[in-house]
């Protein structure tokens, strides 16, 4: 039986997965709902419905985000979503559903049996600042026997059974994973030519995600200075979306920050409102560009204050989806100021098995390489 090597980056917006050298993603949203009356004509490729062994159903991914938007005025929805977009999600039942869905889709991708009795090796990437706190909960959610059902796209509901040995489950800092992705080959072996900026640090790693901007300083040789480690929650994509929601609040007070990603994915990112009895259009894409510039500008000020204008830093490595959005502005600023040149302002690599992927996969690719290196397989 073929083994399954799988790494998961459970981002606050999207779950990224690398399994046996291939990557995929789906929105990280889970909403419990009654799907017994669901009609097949509602199904499409984005449909994901999880059912546990007790028959409780939950929408997952984009299909769950749609439900949140449809029920945005319902009592309790806002509190539920606000709680989901915090680190407490790592101890929730929704987190386990997300893990199970990711593994089921990986089995599906690899054409492996749904009643799988092979070995599963799992690496989960967690925010650097809270990895030690939540690693036991993550291992607890992943270890043991799993039995559930998943309906994916227009296909039939499928039963899944598999077991994960707790000795085969590992966690890694998302920031360290980005370094592994940058400096390792597909089997997790360190590429000495790519290791140069760690051996000639200090290197400041900026891991931009949806909820946090992880900031980690690595000294010469690659050791981490925990005193200079930060999980910044003021300059991530969530803050951009909160600024967007605040700006459109007079026209659309029903739109909360956790709905923005869903709305941007739909059509051309435009939403309607009533203006003196006539329909008018809000272009979310245009507003987002302005808010990205502002939040990134605030982030640069934060770096200058906390890290002495980066005067003692030799390299900056930016990773993650938000890191990619900020990279050009950050790079231009520090090049104009003469602090760092282009060769010392790096955007993380996201290459796996000879294929280059969008930078949002850089962490999960690094975690996957780290898993293969840890197992020496």
Tens digit of each residue's pLDDT (9 = 90 or more) over 274-287: 999 999 999 999 99
298 is a domain residue:
no
CA 155 vs CA 13, 47, 89, 108, 152: distances in Å: 25, 9, 29, 12, 6
User: What DSSP line would sit under 243-262, residue for residue?
Assistant: HHHHHHTTT-TT--GGGHHH
Structural contact between residues 132 and 220, judged by C-beta atoms closer than 8 angstroms: no
12 is a domain residue:
yes
Task: Give the residue, 254 or 89, on which the prediction is more confident.
Answer: 254
Task: Indicate the range of 9-18, 179-188, 191-200 predicted with least confidence.
Answer: 191-200
Q: pLDDT at position 373, please?
A: 94
Structural contact between residues 346 and 240, judged by C-beta atoms closer than 8 angstroms: no
267 is a domain residue:
no
Residue-wise pLDDT tens digits, 3-37: 999 999 998 788 999 999 999 999 888 888 876 54
Mean pLDDT of the chain: 88
319 is a domain residue:
no
Task: Give the residue, 259 or 148, on which the prediction is more confident.
Answer: 148
122 is a domain residue:
yes
107 is a domain residue:
yes
Report the CATH number that the domain containing residue 110 is assigned in CATH. 3.30.420.40
**What does the alpha-carbon distance between residue 342 and residue 104 come to, in Å, rounded to a whole number?**
42
Structural contact between residues 38 and 51, judged by C-beta atoms closer than 8 angstroms: no
Q: What is the DSSP letter of 156?
A: P
Q: pLDDT at position 297, please?
A: 98
Which residue in the block uniquely carries the two structure tokens 């199970």?
A: 100
**What does the alpha-carbon distance between residue 255 and residue 303 come to, in Å, rounded to a whole number?**
31
231 is a domain residue:
no
Percent of the chain exceeding pLDDT 90 equals 59
> Helix axis angle, 362-375 relative to 174-183, nearest 10°?
80
166 is a domain residue:
yes
What is the CA 327 to chain-centroid distance, rounded?
Answer: 17
Mean pLDDT of the 145-161 span = 92
**At a CB cut-off of 8 Å and minimum separation 6, what does 126 contact?**
10, 90, 134, 135, 138, 171, 172, 173, 174
Mean pLDDT of the 224-241 span = 86
∠304-310-313 over CA atoms, to 5°? 160
∠218-219-222 over CA atoms, to 5°? 65
Query: Of 264, 284, 341, whose CA–CA distance to 310 is shortest?
Result: 341
Query: Of 46, 77, 71, whose CA–CA distance to 60 is shortest?
Result: 46
**At a CB cut-off of 8 Å and minimum separation 6, what does 15 contact?**
8, 9, 25, 26, 27, 28, 98, 101, 102
pTM: 0.88
Report residue 85's pLDDT band, with 50, 70 and 90 as the boundaries.
low
Structural contact between residues 266 and 283, judged by C-beta atoms closer than 8 angstroms: no
Q: How many domains does the chain have?
A: 1
Structural contact between residues 197 and 314, judged by C-beta atoms closer than 8 angstroms: yes
Report residue 139's pLDDT band, with 50, 70 and 90 as the boundaries.
very high
CA 12 vs CA 40, 85, 146, 184: distances in Å: 30, 6, 24, 26
Structural domain including 158 reads 4-175+354-375
**What does the alpha-carbon distance between residue 11 and residue 154 come to, in Å, rounded to a whole number?**
26
Q: pLDDT at position 198, please?
A: 66
CA 204 vs CA 200, 227, 320, 326: distances in Å: 12, 13, 14, 15
């Amino acid at each position: 039986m073929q083994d399954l090597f799988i790494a998961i980056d459970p981002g606050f917006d999207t779950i990224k997965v690398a399994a046996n050298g291939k990557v995929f993603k789906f929105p990280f949203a889970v909403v419990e709902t009654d799907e017994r009356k669901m009609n097949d004509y509602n199904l499409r490729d984005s449909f994901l419905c999880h059912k546990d062994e007790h028959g409780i159903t939950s929408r997952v991914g984009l299909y769950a985000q749609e439900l949140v938007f449809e029920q945005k005025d319902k009592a309790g929805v806002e509190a539920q979503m606000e709680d989901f977009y915090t680190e407490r999600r790592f101890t929730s039942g929704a987190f386990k559903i997300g893990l199970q869905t990711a593994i089921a889709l990986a089995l599906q991708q690899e054409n492996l049996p749904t009643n799988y009795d092979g070995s599963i090796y799992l690496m989960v990437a967690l925010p650097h600042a809270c990895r030690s706190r939540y690693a036991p909960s993550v291992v607890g959610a992943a270890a043991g026997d799993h039995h559930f059902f998943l309906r994916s796209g227009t296909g039939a509901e499928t039963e899944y059974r598999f077991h994960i040995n707790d000795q085969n489950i590992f966690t890694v800092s998302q920031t360290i994973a980005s370094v592994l992705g940058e400096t390792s080959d597909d089997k997790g072996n360190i590429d000495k030519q790519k290791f140069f900026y760690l051996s000639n640090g200090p290197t400041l790693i900026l891991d931009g995600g949806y909820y946090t901007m992880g900031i980690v300083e690595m000294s010469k040789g690659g050791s981490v200075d925990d005193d200079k480690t930060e999980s910044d929650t003021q300059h991530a994509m969530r803050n951009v979306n909160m600024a967007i929601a605040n700006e459109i609040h007079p026209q659309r007070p029903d739109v909360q920050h956790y709905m923005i990603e869903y709305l941007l994915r739909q059509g051309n990112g435009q939403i309607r409102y009533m203006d003196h009895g006539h329909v008018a259009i809000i272009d979310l894409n245009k507003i987002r560009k302005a808010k990205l510039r502002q939040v990134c500008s605030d982030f640069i000020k934060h770096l200058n204050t906390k890290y002495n204008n980066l005067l003692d830093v030799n390299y900056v490595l930016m990773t993650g989806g938000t890191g990619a959005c900020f990279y050009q502005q950050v790079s231009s600023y520090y090049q104009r100021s003469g602090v760092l040149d282009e060769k010392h302002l790096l955007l993380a690599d996201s290459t796996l098995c000879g294929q280059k992927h969008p930078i949002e996969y850089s962490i999960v690719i690094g975690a996957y390489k780290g898993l293969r290196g840890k197992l020496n397989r």
